[in-house]
């Protein structure tokens, strides 16, 4: 099938619900009418371009800076001439309904672009993506801060009970978004925020899974741990990329069977009704 005919932050981040297929992720994260391209050219000032056209031709120019003429967007040339098209593709079965349409970026020549560091000749672009064309950098974001939750819809994300991965640079509002998801899901439990980079390797497992009395030197009492504290609520694991490999393995096992096994405990405790962010 023809990719162009199918559609299977400012919040510069992505929200990735675990268990939702790639087509649905594109529907959630994909760039759409009303979003914004922020262009940092190799020469000249940064400029924001609203996505308010069904098609935008991106072309090279010898001039300094970024400028838009009708449906043509000109950015500095770099080493060679280039030409790309940004086209709003309709979702199959939703012809003419722009709220379901998403933008596809395609090269008109044999010169690829980079999207999140990967060379490509054709790709749907999503909010949070970083696109490099020659020496120019383009980022994709939502127009209004805080509109992500309303667009996701309660039946799709907030009430789904799915574990969610939120991606974004420092300062983009990941904690705020996690709290908003928690609040809108009408939880019966707490919102528990754990910054994993703040704990030493020896303490992280105990902080997450808890420990039993006498499990190690200094364990004079039982400790519940973050997973149990967040029962029927939301656990937000901040800086998850700092988690040691051995704890990542235990975390994956937990995500698979939702059983919490505290340090020093032989059998795990089943956990239900919590959302992991």
The token pair that represents 277 in the structure block: 């962010």
Q: What domains can you pick out in the chain, each with its CATH number? A: 3-141 (2.60.200.20), 187-276 (3.40.50.300)
- Residues with pLDDT less than 50, the chain: 1-11, 20-21, 145-146, 153-155
Q: Map tokens 């990719």 to a residue.
A: 3
**pTM for the whole structure:** 0.54
pLDDT in tens, 88-109: 988 765 555 667 789 999 999 9
- Under 8 Å CB-to-CB from 35, ≥6 apart: which residues? 50, 51, 103, 127, 140, 141, 142, 143
CA 126 vs CA 13, 103, 161, 205, 223: distances in Å? 9, 8, 24, 35, 42
- Under 8 Å CB-to-CB from 229, ≥6 apart: which residues? 190, 192, 235
pLDDT at 165: 79
């Amino acid at each position: 099938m023809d990719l162009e005919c199918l559609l299977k932050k400012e919040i510069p981040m992505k929200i990735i619900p675990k268990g939702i297929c790639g087509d649905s992720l594109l529907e959630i994260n994909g760039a759409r009418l009303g979003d914004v391209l922020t262009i940092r050219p190799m020469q000249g000032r940064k400029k924001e371009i609203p996505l308010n056209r069904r098609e935008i031709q991106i072309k090279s120019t010898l001039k300094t800076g970024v400028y838009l003429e009708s449906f043509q967007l000109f950015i500095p040339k770099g080493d060679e001439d280039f030409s790309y098209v940004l086209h709003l593709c309709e979702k199959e079965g939703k012809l003419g309904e722009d709220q379901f349409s998403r933008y596809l970026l395609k090269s008109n020549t044999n010169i690829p672009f980079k999207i999140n560091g990967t060379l490509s000749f054709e790709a749907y672009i999503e909010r949070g993506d970083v696109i490099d064309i020659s020496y120019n950098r383009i980022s994709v974001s939502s127009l209004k801060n805080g509109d992500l939750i309303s667009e996701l819809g309660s039946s799709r994300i907030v009430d789904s009970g799915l574990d969610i991965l939120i991606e974004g640079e420092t300062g983009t509002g990941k904690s705020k978004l996690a709290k908003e998801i928690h609040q809108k899901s009408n939880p019966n439990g707490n919102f528990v925020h754990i910054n994993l980079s703040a704990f030493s390797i020896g303490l992280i497992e105990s902080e997450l899974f808890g420990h039993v009395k006498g499990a190690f030197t200094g364990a004079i009492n039982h400790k519940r741990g973050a997973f149990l504290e967040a029962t029927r609520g939301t656990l937000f694991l901040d800086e998850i990329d700092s988690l040691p490999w051995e704890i990542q393995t235990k975390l994956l096992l937990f995500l698979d069977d939702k059983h919490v096994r505290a340090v020093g405990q032989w059998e795990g405790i089943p956990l239900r009704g919590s959302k992991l962010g």
